[in-house]
Amino acid sequence: MKKTLLLLLLSLFTISSSLEAQRKSKDKKKENSEAKTSKAKTPKYSDFINKDTKTDEGLFKVHFDKDKFIYEIPKSYLGKEMLLVTRLRDIPAGLGGGYVNAGSKINTQVVVWEKYKNKVLLKVKSYNAVANDSLPIFKSVEANNLEPIIYSFDIKTQNSDSTAVLVDVTKFFSSDVKAISGLSSRFRKTYKVKRLDADRSFVSSIKSYPENVEVVQNFTFDADAPPSNRNTNTITMRVNQSMILLPENPMMPRISDKRVGYFSLENVDYSSEALKADEKRYIKRWRLEPKDVEAYNRGELVEPKKQIVYYLDPATPEKLRKYIKQGVDDWAKVFETAGFKNAIIAKMPPTKEEDPEFSMEDARYSSIRYVASTTRNATGPSVADPRSGEILESDIIWYHNHLRSYRNRYLLETGAANPSARTLDTPAEDIGEMMRMVISHEVGHALGLPHNMAASYAYPVDSLRSGSFTQKYGIAATIMDYARYNYVAQPGDKDVRFVRQLGPYDHYAINWGYRVVPNANTPEDEVKTLDTWIEDKADNPIYRFGGQRFDPSAQTEGIGNDQVKASTYGVKNLKIVAKNLPSWTSDQTNNYQDLSELYGELLSVWGRYSGHVVGNIGGVFEYNKKPSQSGNVYVPVTKAKQKESMAWLQANVFKTQNWLLDKDILNKIEETGYTDKLASYQNRFLGTLLNYRTLNRMIEAEVIQDEFYAASDMVKDLRKGIFSETNATKNVDLQRRTLQKSFIEKMKNLMDNEESKNNDISSIVRGELEALKNQVNTASKRAVNTITKYHYKDCYAKINEILNPKK
């Protein structure tokens, strides 16, 4: 029995040992197999790049195969700063209410590609806060400005010599990544965007150039309220992503000064010795450096090391090319003021035979695009290095239909005094001159110059009627003002220039921004010299820079230094144009389409002239100065000029303008709505005058002005003028009845305004409404016709409700 049991135990042990040996053998084989499999699955370069792969050489190698885009990023570029620019390439009709254009820049951000373990991170680097990296505070700036990660990419493999890593960027560029999206949160809310449809969204192309990579994305969103094609519930757009390598050595910045107009960028410098972080603002400009520094310092004209070159779009109609080229080349003479010759030029791009690698998408080349679009606009955007303000490239956009706007304005604003404008077929040379000046204006933006609306205020109004003056100086001191046409010149004035041109301010601003200051090694070293250049010309209005807001001398579309006088001339001319509009349009074309279009624009022109005068009331001139200069920065418009402006408005705006309601035009172009259009302008001007900010400026003028136009007097004058019919037994016409109701409504808005309740405005409104209540009550008892009587009683009831609101 014992023997049998022993044999049984030995047998079980042998079987167990055998099974264990078999298990270990299997485990070993499995490990070897897994090791071989693992080794076999390690990605190789050839797994991604093969004979079927298309490769584009450039800043990065871009590989494309089977709908996959792969970047081969040299390790030497990891950590290098690059500029990522997001632009709208193609957009649906009506996006942004028509105020957003294809080519618009949506976002600009500095990015770096950074390796972390087995990933590459794309991070945004901010220059809003900076410090010298040699100072202890630099660590705190870094710690308190952690760079956000836009995206994390898996490293697929390396190239054969391990000098570059491969990452798949397909998902990044085909997904709805908010940091690079062309659709803002505002648009998403407005158009009720639900999601990006992945099946209808894709990367259209990725091209690599020596200094940049260009990506075109096709995105389709599901949206409940798209801007156009509403029944599709769809928004489709094309977005362009430009990634540009920033210069290894940044240009020395130039400190901005608000006395000279330049686009600028701002950062907070924690390296400052001041007792707070120092806010610094630098202008945007091209890097122009003289080839021969010694000759330049002697005052000789010297060519720059790198010329600014604009290439014309091959799609530009041949008959227009010379005007576009002239619009660019005109700036070459301006740059001579800053000591540079041949600084800027326009060219046709090389042909494929001349340069097969040339592309308008290449960030090394600036261009003027001619876009086949019904949009009436032109833009002059540029891309600048946020570290220094250096403009790196620019793509000016001209939209095909923009010339129609200029033709219409030319006819309306100069037709009374300018025979060549009295036609729909504007002479080709005139159209070309207009286009040339629009391009010059947009080039000015691309050179760093913003609008300078104060420049048109530099010239006396009557000088604009002089042929010798306007031919020499133009109609404004700069091309950067919106002084498009000379609407002041009267019939019979001889040899007057009607179209704007570059002026003395342009030479001054380019010299200030681009002239090299000798022996200056830091931006701060330049300031004393730059200040001298400004202060030497500070008393001359030709060299003044002014932005829009409350300043009546810096208004859009105005010309001359007296708005009342200029607008009087302008309206006088418009009345001549209005009488002749049918003979210059519908009589020639045998249809009313152009008459209708031009009549609508004629109302707009009258509205602009009127708005210039409105700006005087409650207006404050702004003269930017440093403490070393004499005089005040803010100077209210004189009482006499404000009262003169009020009288002008009563006669030319608030009194019914029957010349704008010409039945020989209106009964040809629309069945109704013309009185509403006129009323909308009158309502707008009332809103400007009876506005909290306007009234508050007038109230505060009491503190700084010895003789001022009191807010209470202004509202009283306005009331008396608008309700002048109440002083006589007289009917109130339709236009005036609408205007009078609008006055009461605007007064109600002021009464309800929370800001108005704690100052004199509420007192003024209440007092004037009390007076008006008695005024219309008395007038209703002697009204001539029924509608006038009903109107006064309605006004009485509305005023009573405002003064005695129901609890």
- Residue spans of the domains in the chain: they are 54-245, 308-581, 636-646+653-803
Structural contact between residues 125 and 147, judged by C-beta atoms closer than 8 angstroms? yes
pLDDT value at residue 41: 67
Indicate if the pLDDT at residue 99 is higher than 90. no
The pLDDT tens digits for 32-64 are 554 444 445 678 898 888 888 999 999 999 999
Q: Give the number of other CB atoms < 10 A from CB of residue 548.
A: 13
**pLDDT level of residue 12 (50, 70, 90 thresholds):** very low
**Tokens 């000029």 sit at which residue?**
641
Q: Give the number of other CB atoms < 10 A from CB of residue 472.
A: 11
**Tokens 């540079």 sit at which residue?**
340
What are the Cα distances from residue 22, in Å, to 9, 13, 28, 35, 36?
A: 20, 14, 10, 20, 21
**Residues 616-654, buried b or exposed e (16+ Cβ, 10 A)?**
bbbbbbbbbbeeeeeeeeeebbebebbbbbbebbbebbb
Q: Which two tokens stand for residue 121?
A: 């991170």
pLDDT value at residue 34: 47
Of residues 138 and 394, more confidently modeled: 394
Q: Which two tokens stand for residue 300?
A: 């000789």
DSSP 650: I
Distance in angstroms (rounded) separating the CA atoms of residues 290 and 341 = 10
Q: Give the number of other CB atoms < 10 A from CB of residue 315.
A: 11
Distance in angstroms (rounded) separating the CA atoms of residues 411 and 430 = 11
The single-letter code of the amino acid at 416 is A
Average pLDDT rounded to a whole number, residues 477-505 = 96
Encode 705-739 in three state secondary structure: CCCCCCHHHHHHHHHHHHCHHHHCCCCCCHHHHHH
Least confidently predicted of 111-120, 281-290, 358-367: 358-367
Torsion, CA 35, CA 37, CA 38, CA 40, rounded to 10: 120
Least confidently predicted of 357-371, 546-560, 670-684: 357-371
The pLDDT tens digits for 343-354 are 999 999 998 899
- Find residue 635's DSSP bridge partners: 621
Nearby residues of 223 by Cβ (< 8 Å), 6 or more positions away: 191, 192, 193, 194, 233, 234, 235
Structural contact between residues 385 and 450, judged by C-beta atoms closer than 8 angstroms? no
Structural contact between residues 251 and 391, judged by C-beta atoms closer than 8 angstroms? no
The pLDDT tens digits for 521-556 are 999 999 999 999 999 999 899 999 997 779 999 999
> For residue 204, which phi and psi values (nearest 5 degrees)?
-75, -45
Distance in angstroms (rounded) separating the CA atoms of residues 6 and 21 = 22
Nearby residues of 206 by Cβ (< 8 Å), 6 or more positions away: 56, 62, 64, 69, 169, 173, 213, 214, 215, 216
Distance in angstroms (rounded) separating the CA atoms of residues 576 and 421 = 13
Distance in angstroms (rounded) separating the CA atoms of residues 687 and 607 = 14
The single-letter code of the amino acid at 395 is D
> For residue 343, which phi and psi values (nearest 5 degrees)?
-75, -25
What are the Cα distances from residue 709, in Å, to 248, 402, 508, 771?
A: 58, 42, 36, 20
Give the rounded percent of residues in the chain with a pLDDT score beyond 90.
70
Nearby residues of 538 by Cβ (< 8 Å), 6 or more positions away: 259, 625, 629
The pLDDT tens digits for 676-719 are 899 999 999 999 999 999 999 999 998 988 899 999 999 999 99
Structural contact between residues 505 and 537, judged by C-beta atoms closer than 8 angstroms? no
The pLDDT tens digits for 107-154 are 889 999 999 999 999 999 877 544 455 545 445 545 455 688 999 999
The pLDDT tens digits for 572-608 are 999 999 999 999 999 898 999 999 999 999 999 999 9
Distance in angstroms (rounded) separating the CA atoms of residues 802 and 805 = 6
**Tokens 């499999």 sit at which residue?**
37
Residue 510's Cα: distance from chain center in Å?
A: 21
Nearby residues of 499 by Cβ (< 8 Å), 6 or more positions away: 410, 430, 433, 434, 437, 484, 485, 486
Mean pLDDT estimate for the chain: 89
User: Packing angle between helix 593-614 and helix 674-689, nearest 10 degrees?
Assistant: 20
Distance in angstroms (rounded) separating the CA atoms of residues 412 and 419 = 12
Of residues 718 and 23, more confidently modeled: 718
Distance in angstroms (rounded) separating the CA atoms of residues 538 and 548 = 19
